[in-house]
Amino acid sequence: MVEILMSILTASSFGLLFKYFEKKKLDSFQAILVNYITAAVVGIITIGKIPFTAETIHQPWFPYAAGLGAVFFYSFYLIAVSISQAGISATMVAAKMSLVIPTFAGIWLYSEGLGWMKIAGIMLALGSLVFTLSKPKGEGEEVKGQLLMPIIIFIVAGLQDTVFGFTQRNYLNDANFEEFTIAVFLCAFVSGLLVTAVKVAQKQISFHGPSVLGGIALGIPNYFSVYFLVQALSLPGMGTSVIFPVMNIGIVAFSAIAALLLFKEKLYTQNWFGVLLALLAIGMISRG
């Protein structure tokens, strides 16, 4: 259970760190860039070797690693923007409710079953988004534009998980998972580095020491969120049908409570109801 708890804490730390970056006026773009090279280096140190050979780029999974790396970089940036605009709770609920998309993909691509519990869970998931993102009358117009970001997160995260699931199902195993994971981190770094080079050339960005340190602080839990997830999945009697529901429920609940306690994030009654619906939806979809 320690592995599950650590996976929840490390994955939940992303939203809290992005909120901290906003408070301290750090450059999230720079922090995200440094985060990915940090995650790759921490991974290499943890496993005690560089898990690459000259043949790595010829592996059938490498194009997926490169594509996911690019998407991971920009999805992280979208999460940072969404947290700044819509808050931690709304963003994390949107990210975790995106499991609706790979669920539909599983039904379509792999002929997975669609029982009444899964259908009810999907409906609850969509309802949870409505309640989590809603505001009382009088504030609706003020924040209307801010709600777009969590919706984009919902779509991007869902497509991202769908591609990751496809890759894991068809190309990955215990022998190459570490190599794939670190390759994704490095590809994300290279993707961000290319954009950064353009920004530097156009004098749109300049080096900011505290943002770099923030990126290091972000990269460490980023790697270990994957590390502890893999460790949790290897526990006796634990499988994806147990781990992922517990993980997603833990992340949504912990993020909402931490946002309230640490940043005094304002949640209305309907928002808390949305969080509760999200927790229930995760359990129903996963068990359905």
Q: Each residue of 38-60: pLDDT tens digit?
A: 999 999 999 888 888 888 899 99
Q: Each residue of 219-277: pLDDT tens digit?
A: 999 999 988 887 877 777 665 556 777 788 888 889 988 998 998 888 888 888 988 98
Q: Which band of pLDDT confidence, cut at 50, 70 and 90, is reported for residue 138? A: low
DSSP codes, 131-179: HHH---TTTHHHHGGGGHHHHHHHHHHHHHHHHHHHHHHHT--TTTHHH
Query: If we measure between CA atoms, which residue out of 70, 36, 248 comes closest to residue 163?
Result: 70
Q: Which band of pLDDT confidence, cut at 50, 70 and 90, is reported for residue 4? A: confident
Measured between alpha carbons, how far is 147 from 70 in angstroms, rounded to an integer?
24
Measured between alpha carbons, how far is 152 from 163 in angstroms, rounded to an integer?
17
Q: Each residue of 148-189: pLDDT tens digit?
A: 888 899 999 889 888 888 888 889 888 888 899 999 999 999
The mean pLDDT value for 211-215 works out to 95
Question: Residue 142 is encoded by which pair of tokens?
Answer: 């003020």
- Could you give the angle at the alpha carbon of 173 between the alpha carbons of 93 and 187, nearest 5°? 60
- For residue 204, the model assigns a pLDDT of 78
Q: Which band of pLDDT confidence, cut at 50, 70 and 90, is reported for residue 208? A: confident
Are the C-beta atoms of 79 and 14 separated by less than 8 Å?
yes
Are the C-beta atoms of 129 and 274 separated by less than 8 Å?
yes
- For residue 242, the model assigns a pLDDT of 64
Q: What is the CA radius of gyration of the chain?
A: 19
- For residue 78, the model assigns a pLDDT of 92
- Which of 4-18, 60-74, 144-158 bottoms out in mean pLDDT, i.e. has the lowest? 144-158
Residue in this structure with the two tokens 């809290």, named with its chain if needed? 16
Other CB atoms within 10 Å distance of the CB of residue 171: 16
**pLDDT value at 93 more than 80:** yes
- Which residues lie closer than 8 Å to 163 by C-beta, 6 or more apart? 64, 67, 68, 71
Q: Tell me which of 158 and 137 has the higher pLDDT.
A: 158
**pLDDT value at 140 more than 60:** no
Measured between alpha carbons, how far is 161 from 167 in angstroms, rounded to an integer?
10
Q: Tell me which of 108 and 272 has the higher pLDDT.
A: 272
Measured between alpha carbons, how far is 287 from 8 in angstroms, rounded to an integer?
19
